[in-house]
C-alpha cells in the first residue's frame, strides 16, 4: 500500500547509495507505488470519488452548488429555508391530497417531514396523502383519522411520518384572522389564549398553584371564547383559575348545546372579568347558562359585590329583585295551589269514619270525596302525622280485605274543582299551561297507585303512576298542557283529581294514558295499580297536595286555618263546632241555633233569617236536627212546658248567603235546632 493506516505516504525504497547500480525494475516499481498513491488521492479537478473519512480540522467546505437531486449536497441557505421539506400547494382532492417536494423522495421513512399549503377545498372526513407519486397513506391527528373540516382550505400544514403508513399532521399558520382550531387542549402551567379561539373538544385547565392558570381574551372590541356546539366543555381541575376578557370591552361566552364551563367539586374557580364591559352568557334556549355540579356554588358579582349566589341550600339575592313578574310561569302572589284543604286541616263533618267502602260520599276531611264500590272496608281519618311542616294527613286503613276484585270495583280519593276556578290554566287554547302536581305519601308497605287529572266538561284525562313506601316521600308529577277542550266558566265540576287506590279490570285492562291528555277510555285510567284492600291493615297516608301552573313544584302554599276553613265553607257549613262530628250530641246549648220570638205574625208563623259567614257555591241543601238528632225536625221551646223535640218544620228558605227556618208558632215561643248546609260538587 502507498499509505499507512494513518494516511501517511512513505517512499517504498530507501535513498540510492552512490555507486549503486539502478535497474529498471527497481525504478518501475517505485514509480508504480507513487502513481497508485496519487491515484487514490483527491484530485483537484473533482473527477475522483472520495471514499475515505476526511478530517477537516475545524475547517469548512465552501462553494458547493445548490442541491437539486436526492444525491446532492444542500447548502446552508437551503437548510435554513427548509426548502427540501416545502411541498407547495397540495394537489389531488379534498380527502386525498398529493404532495410534490423537490427533490422527490423515493420511499417513505419514519421521521420524514413535509410542509404544504392546502388547496381551496376543505376535507369532509378521513384524508390521505401521497408524496412524490408513492402510495396514499393516512393523515392523522394524534393517532386518529382527520375529522371533517380539520384540513382547512388555504391553510399551512406540517406532517411528520411516525410510520411508513401514517402522517401526523398539525396546522401551523396562526396569524391574522385565521382562528386556532384545537381539538383537545390540556394546560398544566400558565397560558394566554388571545383572539377568536375556538375549541372543538374538551379543554382541561390544570393548576400550577400560582396566579391564574389560563387567561382568555381578544384584542378587539369583540372578545369571546367559543366552543363548537357538538363539543364538550371547559373543565377546571381542583385549584385551577382562569380569567376571561380584558377591561373595557364586552365578553361573550358562546355555547349552543352543552355546558360551557364545568368546575370540579373541589376548589376550581371560574372568574368572568370584563371590568367596565358587559358579560353575556349565551346558550340554546333549552340549556342552562350556569350550572353548579354536586355541591358547587355559583355566585354572580357586580362591581365586586356578590349579588346572586346559589348553593345546595337555595338562592340568595342581595339588593332586591326588580322587573320580576312571574315564578314557574305563574304568579308570585295570590293563590298558587288550585286545590283546597291540601294539608288536611279542616274536617267539618268528622275526623274519623269507619266501615267505608260500599258507597261514595264526603265523609271526613273537607273537599275530599271517596268514590268506592267494593267488598273491602276501610276507615278514613284525619290524623296527626305528616312530613316536616305538615301537622295532619288523611289516612285510609283497610279493615276488611277484598282480593276477589270485580270488574267495576273502585276506591278513589277525589277533589272536584269549579270551572270558574281553573280558567287560568287556559286549557283548550293555544296558550294552555303545563301543570305540576305534588303531594306527600307513605303507607305500611310498598305499593303503586295512580293520580289522574280529569276534564269533566270534555271527558278527557291523563294518568300518572306513583310509588308509595313506608317513609314519607314527596311525589312530583309533571302534567303537559292540553290545547283541546276549553273548560266551562261556571260553578259546576269542570276539573279535578282522582287518586286510584283500588280498581277492577274495567279501569286497568288497557294501557295507562300517561304521556298526553286524551279522550277518557276507562280501561286506560288506572293500569298497573296495587290495591289498598288487598290485605287487612293496609294503610295509605297523603298530605301536602298541590296543583300549580308551571313545570316546577314550588314549596307548599300553607294557608291559615281561617283561610282554609272559609274556602271549605263555600261547599259545607254547619252549626257543629270544629272537632265535633256532624250528627253528634246536640243539646240546648251545644252545636245549635236558638230562635226565639215573643209572638207570631198574623198568619201564626214565626221565623228568623240567618246570614251565612261565606257565600256558598250554589243554593245549599239544608238539613235540620232537633236535640234528639231527628233530621228535618226542630225542638220547640215553650216557656211553661220546656223543650219539645220531633217538631216538624213548616217552611225552609235558603239562598247562597242566607237561610231561614220557620214554623207555626201556636203557643210556642221559639225553636232549637242544629243544621248543615251543603253545596258540594
pLDDT-based confidence at residue 56 (cuts at 50, 70, 90): low
Question: For residue 330, is it within any domain?
Answer: no
- Give 542 or 596, the one with higher predicted confidence: 542
Assign 288 a pLDDT band (cuts: 50, 70, 90): very low
Same domain for 162 and 185?
A: no
More confident residue, 13 or 231: 13
Within this chain, do residues 365 and 473 fall inside the same structural domain, yes or no?
yes
Q: How many CA atoms lie within 13 A of 236 on its CB side?
A: 26
Same domain, yes or no: 270 and 379: no
Indicate the pairing of strand 493-503 with strand 447-455: antiparallel
Tell me: do 217 and 297 sit in the same domain: yes
Judge contact between 463 and 514, C-beta under 8 A.
Answer: yes
What is the mean pLDDT of the segment spanning 474-502?
98
pLDDT at 475 exceeding the cut of 50: yes
Alpha-carbon span 427 to 269, nearest angstrom:
46
- Identify the top-confidence range among 203-212, 490-499, 548-557: 490-499
CA 182 to chain centre: 29
Instruction: Say if residues 673 and 593 touch (Cβ distance below 8 Å).
Output: yes
Residue 566 falls inside a structural domain: no
Residue at 496 is within a domain:
yes
Domain count, the chain: 5
- Which of 148, 171, 194 delimits the end of a domain? 171
Looking at 142-178, which runs of residues are DSSP E strands?
Answer: 144-145, 156-161, 166-171
Residues 653, 659, 662: CA angle, nearest 5 degrees: 55
Q: In terms of domains, do 409 and 515 share one?
A: yes
| Amino acid 1: pLDDT | 45
pLDDT for 257 equals: 43
Say if residues 434 and 481 touch (Cβ distance below 8 Å). Answer: yes
Query: In whole angstroms, what is the distance from residue 188 CA to residue 194 CA?
Result: 18
The Cα 8–Cα 230 span in angstroms is 74
Domain boundary among 531, 559, 587: 559
Residue 474 lies in a domain: yes
* Residues contacting 76, CB < 8 A, separation 6+: none
Residues 147 and 216 grouped into a single domain: no
CA torsion angle 327 328 334 338 (round to 10): 180
How many other CB atoms sit within 10 Å of the CB of residue 573?
21
Tell which wins on pLDDT, 612 or 637: 612
> Which residues on adjacent β-strands are paired with residue 252?
224, 280
Per mean pLDDT, which of 77-81, 262-266, 503-507 is the most reliable?
503-507
Residues 6+ apart with CB under 8 A from 489: 419, 420, 423
Domain that holds residue 625: 572-678
Max mean pLDDT among 266-270, 544-548, 667-671 falls in 544-548
Residues 6+ away with beta carbon under 8 Å from 184: 142, 201, 202, 203
**In 3-state terms, what secondary structure has residue 419?**
helix
- Verdict on whether the full-model pTM lies above 0.85: no
Of 13-17, 248-252, 645-649, least confident by mean pLDDT is 248-252
Give the chain's length. Answer: 681
For position 493, what pLDDT does the model report? 98
Residue 208's pLDDT is: 47
Positive/negative CA dihedral, 476, 478, 484, 488: positive
Answer yes or no: is pLDDT of 176 > 80: no
Residue 411 lies in a domain: yes
Q: What percent of the chain has pLDDT over 90?
A: 44
Tell me the C-alpha distance between 570 and 614, whole Å.
6
Distance (Å, rounded) from C-alpha 410 to C-alpha 69? 97
DSSP calls for 252-263 = EEE-SSS-SEEE
pLDDT digits (tens, 9 = 90+) for 69-79: 666 666 666 66
Q: Of 140, 171, 202, at which residue does a domain stop?
A: 171
The three-point CA angle 500-506-510 to 5° equals 85
Question: Whose CA is closest to 660, among 594, 609, 597?
Answer: 609
pLDDT at 80: 62
**Residue 641 has what pLDDT?**
60
Name the β-bridge partners of 236: 205, 263
Segment 308-336 mean pLDDT: 63
Q: What is the DSSP string of 344-400?
A: ----SS-SEEEEESSS-EE-SSTT-EEEEE-S-EEEEEEES--STT---EEEEEEEE
φ, ψ of residue 423 in degrees (nearest 5): -65, -25
Q: Name the range with the highest mean pLDDT among 54-58, 124-128, 297-301.
A: 124-128
Contact yes or no for 364/349 (Cβ under 8 A): yes
**Are 110 and 93 spatial neighbours (Cβ–Cβ below 8 Å)?**
no
Give yes or no for residue 557 having a pLDDT over 90.
Answer: yes
Calculate mean pLDDT across residues 600-615.
71
Asked if pLDDT for residue 550 goes beyond 70, the answer is yes
pLDDT at residue 232 in the model? 45
Minimal CA–CA distance to 472: which of 498, 505, 441? 441
- Do 615 and 651 lie in a common domain? yes
Same-domain check for residues 290 and 362 = no
Considering the domain boundaries, does residue 333 fall inside one? no
CB 500 within 8 A of CB 409: no
Q: How far is CA 235 from the centre of its chain?
A: 19
Alpha helices in 517-646 (DSSP H): 561-569
pLDDT band at residue 461, thresholds of 50, 70 and 90? very high
The pLDDT, as a whole number, for residue 294 is: 47
Contact 98, 130 (CB under 8 A): yes
Average pLDDT over residues 259-271: 47
DSSP 204-215: EE---SSS-SEE
Mean pLDDT of the chain: 79
Same domain flag for 585 and 532: no
pLDDT at res. 642: 73
Q: Which of 213, 177, 212 is nearest to 195 (CA)?
A: 177
For range 598-623, the mean pLDDT? 77
Q: Report the helix count and the strand count for the chain, using DSSP H and E.
A: 4, 47
Per-residue pLDDT at 103: 83
Given a contact cutoff of 8 angstroms between Cβ atoms, the answer to whether 261 and 243 are in contact is no
Cβ atoms within 10 Å of 620's Cβ, excluding its own = 23
Instruction: State whether 621 and 642 are in the same domain.
Output: yes
Q: What is the pLDDT of residues 580-591, one digit of tens each?
A: 899 888 877 777
What is the CA 40 to chain-centroid distance, rounded? 86
Strands 642-648 and 572-574: unpaired
> What pLDDT band is residue 526 in, cutting at 50, 70 and 90?
very high
Same domain, 203 and 261: yes
pLDDT category at 634 given cuts 50, 70, 90 is confident
Work out the average pLDDT over 418-431.
Answer: 97
Contact between residue 151 and residue 173 where contact means Cβ atoms under 8 Å apart: no
Q: Is the pLDDT reported for residue 111 higher than 60?
A: yes
Q: Is 247 inside any structural domain?
A: yes
Instruction: Examine the domain organization and report whether 189 and 157 are in the same domain.
Output: no
Question: What one-character DSSP code corresponds to residue 509?
Answer: S
Task: Return the DSSP state at 80.
Answer: H
Highest mean pLDDT among 51-60, 367-376, 618-627: 367-376
Residue 610 binned pLDDT confidence (cut-offs 50, 70, 90)? confident
Per-residue pLDDT at 333 exceeds 80? no
Residue of 564, 675, 113 lying closest to 339 (CA atoms): 564
Task: Determine, yes or no, domain membership for 336.
Answer: no
Q: Residue 491 is part of a domain; what is its CATH number?
A: 2.60.120.260
pLDDT at 33: 74
Amino acid at each position: 500500500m502507498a499509505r499507512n493506516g494513518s494516511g501517511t505516504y512513505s517512499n517504498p525504497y530507501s535513498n540510492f547509495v552512490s555507486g549503486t547500480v539502478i535497474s529498471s525494475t527497481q525504478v518501475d516499481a517505485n514509480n508504480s507505488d507513487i502513481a497508485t498513491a496519487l491515484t487514490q488521492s483527491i484530485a483537484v479537478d473533482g473527477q475522483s470519488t472520495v471514499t475515505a473519512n476526511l478530517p477537516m480540522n475545524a475547517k469548512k467546505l465552501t462553494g458547493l452548488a445548490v442541491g437539486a437531486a436526492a444525491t446532492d449536497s444542500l447548502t446552508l441557505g437551503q437548510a435554513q429555508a427548509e426548502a427540501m421539506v416545502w411541498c407547495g400547494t397540495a394537489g389531488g382532492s379534498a380527502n386525498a391530497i398529493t404532495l410534490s417536494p423537490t427533490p422527490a423522495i423515493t420511499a417513505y421513512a419514519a421521521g420524514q417531514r413535509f410542509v404544504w399549503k392546502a388547496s381551496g377545498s376543505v376535507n369532509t372526513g378521513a384524508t390521505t396523502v401521497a408524496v412524490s407519486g408513492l402510495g396514499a397513506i393516512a393523515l392523522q391527528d394524534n393517532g386518529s383519522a382527520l375529522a371533517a373540516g380539520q384540513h382547512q382550505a388555504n391553510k399551512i400544514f406540517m406532517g411528520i411520518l411516525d410510520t411508513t403508513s401514517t402522517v401526523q399532521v398539525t396546522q401551523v399558520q396562526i396569524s391574522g384572522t385565521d382562528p386556532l382550531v384545537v381539538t383537545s387542549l390540556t394546560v398544566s402551567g400558565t397560558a394566554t389564549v388571545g383572539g377568536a379561539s375556538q375549541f372543538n373538544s374538551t379543554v382541561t385547565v390544570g393548576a400550577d398553584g400560582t396566579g391564574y392558570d389560563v387567561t382568555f381574551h381578544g384584542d378587539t372590541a369583540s372578545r369571546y371564547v367559543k366552543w363548537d356546539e357538538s363539543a364538550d366543555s371547559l373543565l377546571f381541575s381542583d385549584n385551577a383559575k382562569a380569567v376571561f376578557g380584558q377591561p373595557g370591552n364586552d365578553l361573550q361566552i358562546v355555547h349552543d348545546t352543552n355546558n360551557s364551563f364545568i368546575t370540579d367539586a373541589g376548589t376550581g374557580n371560574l372568574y368572568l372579568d370584563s371590568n367596565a364591559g358587559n358579560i353575556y352568557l349565551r346558550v340554546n334556549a333549552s340549556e342552562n347558562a350556569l350550572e353548579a355540579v354536586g355541591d358547587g356554588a355559583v355566585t354572580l358579582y357586580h362591581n365586586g359585590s356578590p349579588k346572586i349566589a346559589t348553593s345546595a341550600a337555595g338562592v340568595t339575592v342581595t339588593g332586591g329583585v326588580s322587573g320580576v313578574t312571574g315564578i314557574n310561569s305563574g304568579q308570585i302572589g295570590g293563590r298558587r295551589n288550585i286545590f283546597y284543604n291540601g294539608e288536611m286541616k279542616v274536617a267539618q263533618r268528622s275526623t274519623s269514619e269507619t266501615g267505608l267502602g260500599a258507597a261514595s260520599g264526603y265523609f271526613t276531611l273537607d273537599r275530599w270525596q271517596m268514590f268506592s264500590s267494593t267488598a273491602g272496608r276501610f276507615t278514613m281519618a284525619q290524623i296527626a302525622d305528616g312530613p316536616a311542616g305538615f301537622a295532619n294527613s288523611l289516612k285510609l286503613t283497610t279493615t276488611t280485605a277484598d282480593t276477589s276484585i270485580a270488574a267495576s270495583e273502585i276506591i278513589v280519593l277525589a277533589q272536584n274543582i269549579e270551572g270558574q276556578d281553573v280558567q287560568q290554566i287556559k286549557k283548550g287554547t293555544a296558550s294552555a299551561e303545563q301543570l305540576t302536581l305534588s303531594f306527600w305519601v307513605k303507607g305500611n308497605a310498598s305499593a303503586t297507585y295512580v293520580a289522574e287529572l280529569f276534564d269533566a266538561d270534555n271527558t278527557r284525562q291523563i294518568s300518572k303512576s306513583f310509588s308509595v313506601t313506608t317513609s314519607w316521600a314527596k311525589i312530583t308529577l309533571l302534567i303537559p298542557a292540553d290545547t283541546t277542550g276549553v273548560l266551562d266558566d261556571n260553578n259546576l265540576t269542570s276539573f279535578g283529581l282522582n287518586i286510584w287506590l283500588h280498581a277492577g279490570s274495567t279501569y286497568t285492562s288497557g294501557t295507562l294514558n300517561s304521556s298526553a291528555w286524551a279522550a277518557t277510555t276507562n280501561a286506560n285510567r288506572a293500569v298497573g295499580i296495587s290495591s289498598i284492600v288487598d290485605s287487612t291493615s293496609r294503610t295509605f297516608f297523603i298530605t301536602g297536595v298541590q296543583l300549580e301552573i308551571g313545570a316546577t313544584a314550588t314549596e307548599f302554599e300553607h294557608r291559615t286555618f281561617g283561610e282554609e276553613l272559609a274556602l271549605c265553607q263555600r261547599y259545607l257549613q254547619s252549626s257543629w263546632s270544629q272537632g265535633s262530628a256532624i250528627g253528634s250530641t246536640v243539646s240546648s246549648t251545644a252545636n245549635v241555633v236558638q230562635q226565639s220570638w215573643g209572638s207570631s205574625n198574623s198568619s201564626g208563623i214565626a221565623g228568623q233569617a240567618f246570614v251565612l259567614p261565606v257565600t256558598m257555591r250554589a243554593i245549599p241543601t239544608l238539613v235540620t236536627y232537633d236535640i234528639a238528632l231527628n233530621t228535618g225536625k226542630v225542638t220547640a221551646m215553650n216557656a211553661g212546658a220546656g223543650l219539645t223535640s220531633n217538631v216538624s218544620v213548616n217552611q225552609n228558605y235558603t239562598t247562597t248567603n242566607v237561610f231561614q227556618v220557620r214554623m207555626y208558632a201556636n203557643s210556642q215561643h221559639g225553636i232549637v235546632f242544629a243544621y248543615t248546609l251543603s253545596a258540594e260538587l
